[in-house]
Chain A
């Protein structure tokens, strides 16, 4: 790992545009990210069951804005069924970013099966995602920023990006006002400030599905 966890997370969360909607899942991951990101763009869902991932799909179906879903590898492995629903959605504005720490949050001695899988990226690709590994791009801050900005600008969903990073050093305790956050996020999603999508989706209103 060439870049420190906090530096990488700050760098990555700084790449989003003001009209992007970002949903974060996992209790401790939410608490960690909430300490250094702009709340109106972010919706922190302290959920471990896959509801947050599906929420990203629900938002992406109803808006042309870019919707990012951020989670750790344990969460992605736990809700593979939900991710398969996202993969077949054909939503070109839906992006999943999996931060692979290879351990359960705040339990460094409990590894996930990420390391034992032949390829999580391959599994997600076979589901229907465009799958990418971004770990190699995070070398130095300035170069990573430029490269990742270009990558995210040209990304077309449903896509998944996997970034390997070191586990959290210590638990983070942070509190956020749920109702205030929900209202701010809803205002952002329903606002008509447009999208930063490189290829605007055309079939969103139809919500067309491969298997329906």
Chain B
């Protein structure tokens, strides 16, 4: 069981993620409920491409951002991940409740309970690759 408040605290306070964007997903409800505007911003995007673009642009400012997407929506941005993020070497962290599709081998995927989030984030950013973080299981407040 992933605690939503603890996840936000680690991502925002410890790892410095400030901006989040994405489309609504029912499995993220505990995450939405525990969002705190005092240390993070969430921008509701009109499409998956928009969410990806906002976070890509935010990376240029030297700050960290991540995308929250439903498991079924990730396939919509896989062409853009290859055409833009991988071609231009712009790192992106995408948080999904679970991963249903097989993605390109150059996309790092990990399940939250199996990894050390700090080294995972440092690692994919240094290599400038796209990383997908599966929450893997129910999230509680």
Contact = CB atoms under 8 A, between A and B. Distances in A.
B47 A81 contact: yes
Contacts of A116: none
Name which of B45, B51, B79, B88 has the most chain A CB atoms within 10 A of its CB: B88
Given A182-B89, A190-B61, A58 B80 contact: no
Contacts, number: 118
| A interface majority secondary structure | helix
A45 B84 contact: yes
State which size class the interface on B falls in: 20 to 34
Nearest to B35: A212
B52 A51 contact: yes
A57 to B, nearest CB: 5
Interface residues of A, number: 38
A88 to B, nearest CB: 10
A50 B49 contact: yes
Interface in B69-97: 79-80, 83-84, 87-90
A59 B43 contact: no
A3 interface: no
Given A63-B61, A211-B44, A212-B43, A55 B53 contact: yes
A47 B44 contact: no
A189 B62 contact: yes
B50 A212 contact: no
27 contacts: A47-B80, A47-B84, A50-B47, A50-B50, A51-B49, A54-B57, A55-B57, A56-B57, A58-B19, A59-B60, A60-B57, A61-B19, A61-B58, A62-B62, A63-B61, A81-B47, A82-B46, A82-B50, A84-B46, A85-B43, A85-B46, A181-B88, A185-B60, A190-B60, A190-B62, A207-B41, A212-B43
